[in-house]
Amino acid sequence: MLKSKTFVKKTRSGGVMKVVREHYLRDDIWCGSEVCTECKQDSTVLQRDACIESSLCPYPHYLVPDTNIVLRQIDVLEDPVIRNVIILQTVLQEVRHRSAPVYKRLKDIIHEQGRHFYTFTNEHHRETFIEREPGESANDRNDRAIRVAVKWYSQHLKTAESGSDGLKVVLLTNDQGNKLKAEENGLAVYKFDEYIKSLIGNPELVDCLALSNDDKNEVTSSKVLFPEHLPLSKVQVGIKSGSFLQGTFRASRDNYLEATVFVQGEGEDSTEVLIQGLQNLNRAVHQDVVAVQLLPKNQWVAPSSVVLQDDGAAKDDNVDEDEEEKTARRATGKVVGIIKRNWRPFCGMLNVSQIKESTRHLFTPADRHIPRIRIETRQASTLAGQRIMVAIDGWPKDSRYPNGHFVRSLGGAGEKDTEEEVLLLEHDVPHQAFSQAVLSFLPKMPWSITPEDMAQRQDLRHLTVCSVDPPGCTDIDDALHCRELENGKLEVGVHIADVSHFIRPGNALDKEAANRGTTVYLCGKRIDMVPEMLSSNICSLRSNVERFAFSCIWELNHKAEILKTRFTKSVINSKASLTYAEAQMRIDDASKNDDITKSLRGLNKLAKILKRKRIENGALTLSSLEVRFHMDSETHDPIDLQTKELVETNSMVEEFMLLANISVAQKIYDEFPESALLRKHPAPPPSNYDILIKAAKSKNVMIHTDSAKALADSLDVAKVDGFQYFNTLLRILATRCMMQAVYFCSGMDSDFHHYGLASPIYTHFTSPIRRYADIIVHRLLAVAIGADSTYPDLMDKHKQSTLCNNLNYRHKMSQYAQRASVAFHTQLFFKTRGILNEEGFILFVRKNAIIVLIPKFGLEGTVFFDSKDKASPNLVFDEEIPGVSVPVPEAEPQAKKQKLDR
């Protein structure tokens, strides 16, 4: 049966176009139930014995949730207890339009075989499709469509199951109007919380209920604490007129009463608006998109110098500051409206209420950017001491904290597996096992190179190629060779694993790798971007096996000047897989003179020249503390900890990877000026260097920041007698002044410069096993040299730009997750060590605390001057140094703690 709708619409050119929409209705859409004898279905999803123990529904029943139930209560629907659920097409489409994350979670449940969730295509079924009536809203039409589908199911299944004890279909809705109309139609209908509370064997599910509006009114006070948020219509008018600014809310992790709103301007221009005080923060949560109104200039303030954490004590809602320097004041504003909430489930710990028998408790998130959340639970005694997940339901204007609900427990706090799960969830690292759909695109084993493969590639198996990597590395992306040519020149090759040969555009494996974006390296664990068969086997350039590679080969003179460059798909056979230390020993051992050692010495000699040239051009040599753990082979707990030491071969590999990346960047940009995927590092704004300049000034050292070259030169000469570590500390601070390097599409930007490398163009080509950006670059380069065919998305600059946004996000989260893993393993290491005396340095001074760095362990922490059981000392804060003066008896000189002092 065909239904059609005809209407006319005006075109851009002013003409009129007739539009005909056809809607097909069918008789062969089956109900999916085992009970049914009428439908000619090959397989069924909904069970005959659909029993969940419920005091409201003591009979077998199927559940039909409406759209708002799915959107608000997805945490409950994910629980394995909830089975035999009919998801109507009407509901699925609405959820898809309103929330992509919830839609994905719902689709995952539907695909879980043991859950018995069935999608019924009611919008194309002859008996359940309905037309929208004149004057009826889209929402009311959809509610009616759901009721019609429930009624059809009830009557359809009655023919197979008769009697009062027969199987029934239960509609779940929290919409009072929808519920009344369903009851008038004789349908079994309940509010969602009523039904969940009726489940006899699963009282814990009640804790997972998201609060309805009625519940929210119960948990708030009558006192209005926050201003009303403006409606979206007024916010949009204000942004258009320029009276409001739209930006991303970034809460401070050091002071819960302070935040900044990042406002993106035209092109590279952007501004930050400072927000201080609870009322001005106005219930915005980290990463929300908000509308802010600037305060009058006489109300502008300076960023706080106080470290302030919300311990629940009653405090004034403003930051307690002395008079600020007028010059330090920044544009200050207040949040007037929320444009888009960016809430997610948060991991953390429950603070059990001191009130006996209370069911309302505060939850403290692990992420210090997030406020505490008030939840209701009857399991407080069980959940105390556990890491749990909580979701925010809303934040009324008369509540000090947002209201939320318990989602699930992750395990005991401090347990290794639990804490690892927490840091992966908190940093949004996709870490589920690869699905069968993804694995189905892997090559069949045993895999081997065929004559057809060899015909399309250059045979480089005769070259003395070797790889140099960290100890224990199994995902070997890159290998190198160096040899002298007959003309007296040198040939150097960088050979990169040809991952793009195995991951073809648009299939499930490609989509999964694009979503993950990067491999994440935790202490003792790796979360792969691609399945292990590729990362550690077929793609990995291991020694003494034939592997596909993408080779970048240069002809250079002995001054490391490039004479020729060529790119080719190749087959290589690595002659050795070395660690950095092993490669260094070969280079240093005068008795060794084999081909591998000669190749390494040639590479090392050229690398030193390349590095010197880069530094002369203004490339920065910065510093960040990295530590390496030695793990117990059985418990996998850290038994030793030391900072990583770099040898010459680290730099050798890095120089040739940089050279390959720059060469490839130039090639793909020349071929595809609109769609090349490149990487840039923006120059930091001058204000970013304030902490570095002040720190150096505290030791009478001048730092120039006019250009990367000026910074590099002044860092090279920044030394203090008797303070050996001073230069390293300055380089650590300089690293923190830098902007984030980002991927971008060449057709969407005009500034390509990489500030840190002092290179006019750059990309990532050398690590396709662990970075998806490199796979795209490989595809672009393959098309450029005629080794592969293109596809539409590769040349679409808008799609490339969207991909870059995800890659930048995943890369940033990966770095944060790695740091969190190091921090946790450092805590594990110190758990049984007692008190240790080690050299430490003061990095920053705040009004009520100092931030201390212990280089030996790469450890950084906050030390507060005052504590609950000790009186606060009498301190004088000096903003300029900055330092803290501690008045002492007059007979002794004044002691001053300065930045970077030991």
Report the C-alpha gap between 568 and 574 in whole angstroms: 17
Confidence band of 846 (pLDDT split at 50, 70, 90): confident
836-885 has which fold?
OB fold (Dihydrolipoamide Acetyltransferase, E2P) (2.40.50)
Give the least confident one: 281-290, 737-746, 836-845.
Answer: 836-845
Looking at residue 727, what is its pLDDT? 81
Q: What is the pLDDT of residues 210-242, one digit of tens each?
A: 876 555 555 445 578 899 999 999 999 999 999
Please state the length of the chain.
902
Q: How far is CA 711 from CA 585, 684, 714, 725, 752, in A?
A: 34, 12, 5, 18, 20
Residue 730 or 240, more confident: 240
Looking at residue 696, what is its pLDDT? 86
Segment 445-453 mean pLDDT = 90
Segment 94-98 mean pLDDT = 93
413-417 LR contacts (CB < 8 Å, sep 24+): 413/349, 413/385, 413/386, 413/387, 416/636, 416/637, 416/828
Looking at residue 532, what is its pLDDT? 93
Confidence band of 493 (pLDDT split at 50, 70, 90): very high
Looking at residue 881, what is its pLDDT? 53
Burial (CB < 10 A; 0-12, 13-18, 19+), residue 612, is: exposed
Between β-strands 270-276 and 289-294, what pairing exists: parallel, antiparallel or unpaired?
unpaired
Residue with tokens 């004044």: 894
Kindly write down the DSSP assignment for every residue of 569-627, as one continuous string.
EEEEEBSEEEEHHHHHHHHH-TT--SHHHHHHHHHHHHHHHHHHHHHHTT--------E
Confidence band of 645 (pLDDT split at 50, 70, 90): low
Can you point out the beta strands (E) in 395-536? 403-412, 458-459, 466-469, 478-484, 490-497, 520-522, 525-527
Give the least confident one: 117-121, 266-270, 543-547.
Answer: 266-270
Residue with tokens 């060899």: 454
Residue type, 767: S
Report the C-alpha gap between 405 and 410 in whole angstroms: 15
Q: Among 2.40.50.690, 3.40.630.30, 2.60.120.20, 2.40.110.10, what is the CATH number of 227-304+328-342?
A: 2.40.50.690
Residues 6+ apart with CB under 8 A from 747: 673, 674, 675, 676, 797, 800
Q: What is the pLDDT of residues 318-365, one digit of tens each?
A: 555 444 444 478 899 999 999 999 898 999 999 988 887 788 899 999
Kindly report whether the peptide bond that precedes residue 443 is cis, defined as omega within 30 degrees of 0.
no
Residue with tokens 């998305």: 793
Residue type, 661: N
Residue with tokens 């954490």: 309
Looking at residue 371, what is its pLDDT? 94
| Number of other CB atoms surrounding residue 485 within 10 Å | 10
Q: How far is CA 613 from CA 193, 616, 618, 870, in A?
A: 69, 5, 9, 56
Between β-strands 466-469 and 576-579, what pairing exists: parallel, antiparallel or unpaired?
parallel
Name the region of 95 (left: φ>0; alpha: ψ -120 to 50; beta: rest): alpha
Segment 248-276 mean pLDDT = 86
Structure-token pair, residue 134: 């004149």
Residue 63 or 25, more confident: 63
Burial (CB < 10 A; 0-12, 13-18, 19+), residue 163, is: exposed
Confidence band of 891 (pLDDT split at 50, 70, 90): very low
CB 190 within 8 A of CB 56: yes
Report the C-alpha gap between 853 and 435 in whole angstroms: 43
What is the distance of C-alpha 621 from the center of its chain?
27
Question: Percentage of residues in the chain with pLDDT exceeding 90?
Answer: 55
pLDDT at 314 exceeding the cut of 50 = no
Looking at residue 414, what is its pLDDT? 86
Report the C-alpha gap between 191 and 723 in whole angstroms: 70
Segment 397-416 mean pLDDT = 91
Q: Using DSSP, how many helices (H) and how many strands (E) does the chain show?
A: 25, 36
Which of 34-43, 309-318, 488-497 holds the top average pLDDT? 488-497
Q: What is the pLDDT of residues 146-190, one digit of tens each?
A: 999 999 999 998 865 544 357 899 999 999 999 999 999 999 999
**Domain pair 2-208 / 344-413, same fold:** no
Q: What is the dihedral of CA 587, 592, 594, 599, to 10 degrees?
A: 10
Looking at residue 640, what is its pLDDT? 62
Question: Percentage of residues in the chain with pLDDT exceeding 70?
Answer: 88
The CA-to-CA distance between both ends of the chain, in Å, stands at 83
Report the C-alpha gap between 241 and 151 in whole angstroms: 51
Looking at residue 893, what is its pLDDT? 33
CB 782 within 8 A of CB 765: no
Q: Parse the chain into domains and list their residue ranges.
A: 2-208, 227-304+328-342, 344-413, 436-683+739-818, 686-737, 836-885
Confidence band of 485 (pLDDT split at 50, 70, 90): very high
Say which CATH architecture domain 2-208 belongs to: 3-Layer(aba) Sandwich (3.40)
Q: What is the pLDDT of residues 365-404, one digit of tens each?
A: 999 999 999 999 888 888 999 999 999 999 999 899 999 9
Q: How far is CA 135 from CA 132, 141, 142, 523, in A?
A: 9, 10, 14, 61
3-state class (DSSP) for residue 897: strand
Report the C-alpha gap between 158 and 344 in whole angstroms: 42
3-state class (DSSP) for residue 267: coil
Secondary-structure percent of the chain, ordered helix, strand, coil, rounded to 5: 35, 25, 40
Q: What is the pLDDT of residues 751-772, one digit of tens each?
A: 899 988 989 999 999 999 999 9
pLDDT at 295 exceeding the cut of 90 = yes
What is the distance of C-alpha 27 from the center of its chain?
46
Structure-token pair, residue 662: 């720059």
Mean residue pLDDT of the chain comes to 86
pLDDT at 570 exceeding the cut of 90 = yes
CB 54 within 8 A of CB 192: no
Count of alpha carbons within 13 angstroms of residue 868, beta-carbon side: 2
Q: What is the pLDDT of residues 786-835, one digit of tens each?
A: 999 999 999 999 999 999 999 999 999 999 999 888 888 888 888 777 78
Looking at residue 901, what is its pLDDT? 38
Report the C-alpha gap between 879 and 845 in whole angstroms: 9
Residue type, 612: R
What is the distance of C-alpha 386 from the center of its chain?
24
The domain defined by 344-413 carries CATH number 2.40.50.700: yes
